[in-house]
């Protein structure tokens, strides 16, 4: 994925259109950017007063954060697995969350623990 154009170039293109009365097409030729790019920069400037690039990527945070209380309640039972938690979220809240997302959330909340496999084998089922 390419990098965003510098704010300096964006400002020069917009300045040429706004202050010098140049068309966006002419400014794009002068500064060596695509015509559609120059048009978008000028539109953004006119709407917001800013030419900075938009933020790229997903928003920070996890979609299951809204269900923290529900997850905490389910995690009180030490036998709760990611599969059980995933099914419970779907059935009771109507929210699909991948096992990976749930694992990351549980790790971030400090709810993860290492199960003692030897103790599990010794206990009768």
pLDDT of 49-58, one tens digit each? 999 988 877 7
Average pLDDT over residues 15-36: 96
Q: How confident is the model at residue 113 (pLDDT cuts 50, 70, 90)?
A: low
How does DSSP assign 31-75, residue by residue?
HT--HHHHHHHHHHHHHHS--PPPP-SPPSS-GGGGGHHHHHHHH
First CA to last CA across the chain, in angstroms?
A: 53
pLDDT of residue 116: 63
User: CB 108: neighbour CB atoms within 10 A?
Assistant: 11
pLDDT for the residue numbered 12: 96
Mean pLDDT check: name the lowest of 8-12, 24-28, 72-76: 72-76
- Decide if pLDDT at 38 tops 70: yes
């Amino acid at each position: 994925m390419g990098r965003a154009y510098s704010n300096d170039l964006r400002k020069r293109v917009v300045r040429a259109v706004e202050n010098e009365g140049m068309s966006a097409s002419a400014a794009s030729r002068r500064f060596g950017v695509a015509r559609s790019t120059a048009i978008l920069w000028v539109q953004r400037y006119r709407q917001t007063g800013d030419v900075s690039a938009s933020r790229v990527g997903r928003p920070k945070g996890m979609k299951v954060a809204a269900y923290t209380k529900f997850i905490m309640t389910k995690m009180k039972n030490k036998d709760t697995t990611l599969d059980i938690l995933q099914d419970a979220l779907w059935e009771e809240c109507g929210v699909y969350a991948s096992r990976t997302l749930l694992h990351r959330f549980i790790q971030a909340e400090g709810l993860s623990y290492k199960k003692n496999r030897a103790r599990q084998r010794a206990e009768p089922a």
